[in-house]
Amino acid sequence: MSPTAIPRHVGLLILALTATRVVAQAPVERTPPEAMAELEARLRRQIVEQGVVESAEQLELFCGVQGESTIRFVVEEGTLVHEGDLLLSLDDTTLREQLATQEQACALAENALIAAKAAAEAAKRRLATSLPVAELRLKVAERTHDRFLSETGELATEGQQLARVIAVATQRIATLQSEPDSSEQNDALRDLAVAEAETERAEAEAALQLLMDHIRPQETAARELAIAEARLALTETQTVAEAAVREAEAEVHAAEASRARALEQRDHLHTQIAACDVRAPRDGIVLHAQPRTSRSSSPAIAAASKVRERQPLLTMPNLAKLQVRVRVHESQIARVKVGQPVTLACDAAINQRFAGQVTEIGRTPVPTNFLTADVVEYPVVVALSDAPAFLRIGMTATAEIDVSN
């Protein structure tokens, strides 16, 4: 009901006052008791209220764009359309600008991911090359240790050689000293040979002592130090290289997540741009959605008007399935039950009646305006058994609800 229309109860009151004035001027005629009884019986059996024809199946199309948008184009109300036809278009200029910026962000994220993957591969190559080198250095240090300090190594061989020199010199001295006395000249030669052998033995003993007391301990410490340093270098190389690989892989994961977010935002903008064009999901008639709490009679859906996300934009009623939404006064709503038969009539065909049935009773009252603020009515939905061909959405219908059962 528009704000300027006279409410039904106000109209009935005016009609009653007019009739009272006419009756006061006319001769008084008493209603026969039989007619009064029939009228009272009828009022007990029926509730007569007004309703509006509407579609029983109505497809609502909502705004799918976030925030506030401006309507650029909308089809005229009542237009017959086919599936896929453009019904309404929202201004997508800002969204397309955001998409262009997001495309650049996606390209930067892709480049960052490529660079992160290259860095990760380089770190893996460094690990693959530096680790074998460090392992080889440790092996060299261990081999050098064995070459010098093992039982068959250089120091052991040198010690054995010195021991043989000492043994040979000792044997020579013993042999020379055991020879019988001879001429003075021979004695002098023998003494010289003994002295030379003793000198050779002493030098060998000194060299062996030096080898055992100083050279071997020093070489042992040096070779063990080299092994320890090589092992430490191997551990450090492995730790640093593996840490570099993990850090590079973390950078790759971060770059992948950044690219995924950029692509998701880009896809979201594509979805939002696509949502700016509302197309018909099926063949049918298009109606504009009306504001739920507006007192203005101007259309809410029009070019250049603002809409918000989830706001109803258009409706596509199913013309083949109609029903009547009746407003029942609070004083009568308790008598109405689901399943009660209803007889309906429209001004478009006064003499033609058609049948219906109560299928739904509202639990909250119908919204009012300033003219009907004190009138409380509840919606009652009446399904039509066989809707006549002349019936159209929006027609006013008179409903006689049979409340006798």
DSSP secondary structure, 70-91, as one string: EEEEEPPTT-EE-TT-EEEEE-
In a domain, 384, yes or no: yes
| Residue 112 and residue 258 in contact, taking contact as beta carbons nearer than 8 Å | yes
Specify the pTM: 0.63
In a domain, 34, yes or no: no
Query: What digits encode the pLDDT tens for the residues 342-372?
Result: 999 998 887 889 999 999 999 999 887 766 6
Q: How many domains does the chain have?
A: 3
Residues 393 and 322 in one domain: yes
In a domain, 67, yes or no: yes
Phi then psi dihedrals of residue 239, to 5 deg? -65, -50
Mean pLDDT of the 227-247 span: 95
What pLDDT is recorded for position 189? 85
The share of the chain scoring above pLDDT 70, in percent, equals 85
Residues 189 and 161 in one domain: yes
Residue 326 is part of a domain; what is its CATH number? 2.40.30.170
Give the DSSP letter of residue 334.
G
Distance in angstroms (rounded) separating the CA atoms of residues 35 and 283: 53
What pLDDT is recorded for position 292? 47
Residues 203 and 323 in one domain: no
Residue 105 is part of a domain; what is its CATH number? 1.10.287
Residues 187 and 235 in one domain: yes
Domain of 67, in residue numbers: 62-91+276-314
In a domain, 142, yes or no: yes
Residues 158 and 262 in one domain: yes
Query: What digits encode the pLDDT tens for the residues 111-148?
Result: 999 999 999 999 999 999 999 999 999 999 999 999 99
What pLDDT is recorded for position 370? 65
3-state secondary structure 166-215: HHHHHHHHHHHHHCCCCCHHHHHHHHHHHHHHHHHHHHHHHHHHHHHHHH
In a domain, 162, yes or no: yes
Question: Which amino acid, one-letter code, is at 236?
Answer: E
Residues 87 and 103 in one domain: no
**Residue ranges with strand state E in 240-385:** 277-279, 284-285, 287-288, 306-308, 312-317, 322-329, 341-346, 349-361, 377-384
2's CB contacts (< 8 A; 6+ apart) are 297
What is the number of other CB atoms lying within 10 angstroms of the CB of residue 354?
A: 19
Query: What digits encode the pLDDT tens for the residues 49-61?
Result: 999 999 998 899 9
Residues 51 and 100 in one domain: no
Residues 152 and 266 in one domain: yes
What confidence tier does 39 reach under pLDDT thresholds 50, 70, 90? low
**Structure-model confidence comparison of residues 350 and 196, the more confident one:** 196
